[in-house]
Amino acid sequence: MVAPEKDPREEVIQAWYMDDSDEDQRLPHHKDPEEFVSLDQLSELGVLSWRLDADNYETDEELKKIRETRGYSYMDICDVCPEKLPNYEEKIKNFFEEHLHTDEEIRYAVEGSGYFDIRDRNDKWIRIWVKKGGMIVLPAGSYHRFTLDTDNYIKAMRLFVGDPVWTPYNRPQDHLPARKEYVEKVLQKEMSDRTINAAA
């Protein structure tokens, strides 16, 4: 029996349901027993993921193609460390406040690693560990947060369509069109698809 080929993305993007402990946010927060979440399950929440060549991100044709295909015309680099990020402590605190954006959150770890936590359709936290070479898209309107892990460093490329808007809207924001659209088109749609498939 031939083992299924391992998805190369899984080496740099792993996800799991979080425990309820209030220990340091930088710890993994696995449940006991551990409950991993697959990349396919993440895609059902609208989360997209790639593995790219981080050592050559400035010339990487695959990244160039993704940017052209998805219209990510804007790019910058966010070095999340005390020496390079102004107002570091305040930013780290704000990143971990549960929030949404009215546009996609596109983040590519070109160095280091970090945790992007996203709510599932039952409002449970899923922790997405993104390591060097991993790029993810969190959908517009999805409740999420970010924290460094215990390695305490990420150099993240931020991409955007057109002029960037980084505004975080801290929960609750259920009145916002971006939130309503995410709930209707992603969270409720997947539930109805499951119901239809179960009835078939």
Ligand X SMILES: CSCCC(=O)/C(O)=C/O
Which residues are at the interface with Fe ion (CB under 5 A)?
Answer: 105
Q: Min. distance of Cβ 192 from ligand X in angstroms?
A: 28
Q: State the binding string over 109-138 for ligand X (x if CB under 6 A, else -).
A: -----x------------------------
Residue 78 contacts ligand X per CB under 6 A: yes
User: Residue 65: in which H helix or E strand, if any?
Assistant: helix 61-70
Torsion angles phi and psi, residue 134, rounded to 5:
-95, 135
Residue 140 contacts ligand X per CB under 6 A: no
Do the Cβ atoms of 142 and 180 come closer than 8 Å?
A: no
- Using the rule CB under 6 A, which residue among 105, 141, 173, 186 binds ligand X? 105
DSSP code string of 104-122: -EEEEEEEEEEEEEEE-TT
Cβ proximity to Fe ion: between 55 and 97 the closer is: 97
Q: Name residues whose C-beta falls within 8 Å of residue 122's C-beta, 6 or more positions apart in sequence.
A: none
Q: Min. distance of Cβ 178 from ligand X in angstroms?
A: 14
| In the complex, residue closest to ligand X by CB | 146
Cβ proximity to ligand X: between 66 and 140 the closer is: 140
Identify whether 4 is preceded by a cis peptide bond (ω within 30 of 0): no
> Between residue 160 and residue 199, which ones bind ligand X under the rule CB under 6 A?
168
- Using the rule CB under 6 A, which residue among 15, 52, 110, 154 binds ligand X? 154
DSSP state of 162: S
d(CA 98, CA 104): 15
Q: Min. distance of Cβ 53 from ligand X in angstroms?
A: 19
Residue 146 contacts ligand X per CB under 6 A: yes
d(CA 100, CA 50): 22
Identify whether 164 is preceded by a cis peptide bond (ω within 30 of 0): no
Choose the contact partner of 154 out of ligand X, Fe ion, none; CB within 5 to 8 A by kind.
ligand X
Q: Min. distance of Cβ 109 from ligand X in angstroms?
A: 8
Q: Min. distance of Cβ 124 from ligand X in angstroms?
A: 18
d(CA 84, CA 32): 37
Q: Name residues whose C-beta falls within 8 Å of residue 172's C-beta, 6 or more positions apart in sequence.
A: none
Which residue ranges make up the site for ligand X (CB under 6 A)? Answer: 78, 80, 95, 105, 107, 114, 144-146, 154, 156, 168
